[in-house]
Chains A and B, each alone.
Chain A
Amino acid sequence: MIVPEGILCSKSHEYLLEDGNSVYTVGLTDYAVEQLGDIVFVELPETGSEFSKGEVFATVESVKAASEIYMPVGGKIIEVNEKIVESPEILNESPFEEGWLVKIESPDAQAESGDLLEYSDYKEEIE
């Protein structure tokens, strides 16, 4: 698995990846999907809806349990990954590429991402 350069990770295991022009991709880290096990259900927000940092914006369910997913920074949902709604197993197979959750527009991301960790530090933190 290739970990995209420059991703920032939250302690609740979401990642944030800058696409440019205040647009960011949000997903779940490889560690998160590994811990969840077989993912069988994903509920994503509607495009256009807005969430602040730390707010629940999606739900991911594995065979065992339902998990709430939190916004790593505040922003507006501009695109959701419909493919993972149809085939949730993509999240397990490719968390950083095919299995992203949403794209957000977040003008305040820079200011709000202070508590997010670089991938290497995140890895250290969870070990």
Chain B
Amino acid sequence: MGNKTVLYNKHIELGAKMVEFGGWDMPVQYTSIIEEHKTVRNSAGVFDVSHMGQIFVSGKQAVDFLQSIVPQDIAKLMIQKAEYCQLTRDNGGLTDDLIIYHLDKELYLIIANAANVQKDFEWLTSKAKGFEIILENKSNEFSMIALQGPNAGKIVKKLGLKEEEQPHFFTIKTFSLNGIEGYIARTGYTGEDGFEFIIKNEYALKLWDMIFKEGEEFKIKPVGLGARDTLRLEAALMLYGNDLNEDITPIEAGLKWSIPADKKEDYTGKNVILSQIKNGVSKKLIGLEMTERAIPRHGYEIYFQGHKTGVVSSGGYSPTLDKNIAMGYVDTKDNITLDETIEIMVRNKLYKAKVVKRPFVAKRYKIN
């Protein structure tokens, strides 16, 4: 039995199928993964993501500390802005991937993957020596509810936040509604417009019910981890443990766009990352779509012209496309390009696939 979020009984009441994920008992689906997936793409869905970790970094040297542990340029991150970051290791691999929010002067919030919170906190603590900062793991005090989909903005408006009061894409604000206080960020993990509420545990049930009350006319649904995974895969968003790990660098993972090449400050793994930007990588991430009938899944081997070239990192059925899609790492030496035919080994048989662009389904963020 894992940890239970504050909303655990709510999930049981809603008839959710529960699974263990990252040390937590979480809903994998309520009714049907495909139905929940489509609800998010067509209207909006609500996710309990309280298993994610909240680590606060504060103090005079908070920015200097963060500069030393991620490749991103945190000095340029304005108050209220969010950034997708990686916690790099000496070999360029990742301890975790994160969102860092700049909450206030000398105050940052790190959102960490559930399974990695303890590891990240220990990693951060080991790197914090000599910095005048305070590190606090408040994961057990906070709940997180995500509202994702094209109708999310309208529902937040009905909750009481006028459009001009809502945070813009990749920003975070404090909010106070009906006695509930906390943070609201315009971020998510679905490729849709949407929000993440980061609130103290005591507010979670009330906010969940408020969202469902205001969202009723949009036929919103609770959405489990099953659809969360198919949604993020279509948007080609990384899943730590599948697409990322301690031996894969952000450059190999196709995350070069998130890394400034001109950042002056030193950070863990900088040599490796700069060298890979300059000299290239030996493996790289690609997107693929099956052209023969088979479902590619994590760990399946990828073949090119008769030899093994790599392995699938994430794959499955795409409800939006009604196709089977995957991401995977292939040997750069094979020079595999867009539209090229590759093969996936499924139950000891090779099935053809085609290299396609990522994301598989266009992102529909509301960027103003």
**Is A bound to B?**
yes
For residue A118, which residues in chain B have a CB less than 8 angstroms away from its CB? Answer: none
Cα A105 to Cα B32 in complex, Å, equals: 35
Q: Is B347 located at the chain interface by the 8 A CB criterion? A: yes
For residue B324, which residues in chain A have a CB less than 8 angstroms away from its CB? Answer: 41
Q: Which 10 A-B pairs have the closest CB atoms?
A: A40-B317, A63-B33, A38-B34, A61-B295, A38-B32, A41-B295, A38-B33, A63-B317, A64-B226, A37-B33
Indicate with 1 or 0, residue by residue over A46-70, a CB within 8 angstroms of chain B CB atoms.
0000000000000101111110000
Contact partner of A41 among B17, B34, B317, CB < 8 A?
Answer: B317
Q: Interface majority SS on B: helix, strand, loop or mixed?
A: mixed
Task: Report whether B347 and A59 are in contact in the complex, using a CB–CB cutoff of 8 Å.
Answer: yes
Contact partner of A63 among B230, B294, B347, CB < 8 A?
Answer: B230
Could you tell me how many residues of chain B have their Cβ less than 8 Å away from some Cβ of chain A?
17
Given A63-B33, A63-B316, A64-B28; A41-B293 close (CB under 8 Å): yes
Could you tell me how many residues of chain A have their Cβ less than 8 Å away from some Cβ of chain B?
12
Task: Report whether B33 and A64 are in contact in the complex, using a CB–CB cutoff of 8 Å.
Answer: yes
Q: Is B95 located at the chain interface by the 8 A CB criterion? A: no
* Among B34, B297, B319, residue most surrounded by chain A Cβ atoms (within 10 Å): B34
Which residue of chain B is the closest to A92 with respect to CB atoms?
B32
Which residue of chain B is the closest to A38 with respect to CB atoms?
B34
Cα A116 to Cα B294 in complex, Å, equals: 31
Within 8 A of A (CB), among B213-229: 226
For residue B230, which residues in chain A have a CB less than 8 angstroms away from its CB? Answer: 63
What are 24 A-to-B residue pairs whose CB atoms are below 8 Å? A37-B17, A37-B29, A37-B32, A37-B33, A37-B226, A38-B33, A38-B34, A40-B34, A40-B317, A41-B293, A41-B294, A41-B295, A41-B317, A41-B324, A61-B317, A62-B33, A63-B33, A63-B230, A63-B319, A64-B28, A64-B33, A65-B297, A66-B295, A66-B297
Within 8 A of B (CB), among A59-87: 59, 61-66
For residue A61, which residues in chain B have a CB less than 8 angstroms away from its CB? Answer: 295, 317
For residue B347, which residues in chain A have a CB less than 8 angstroms away from its CB? Answer: 43, 59, 66
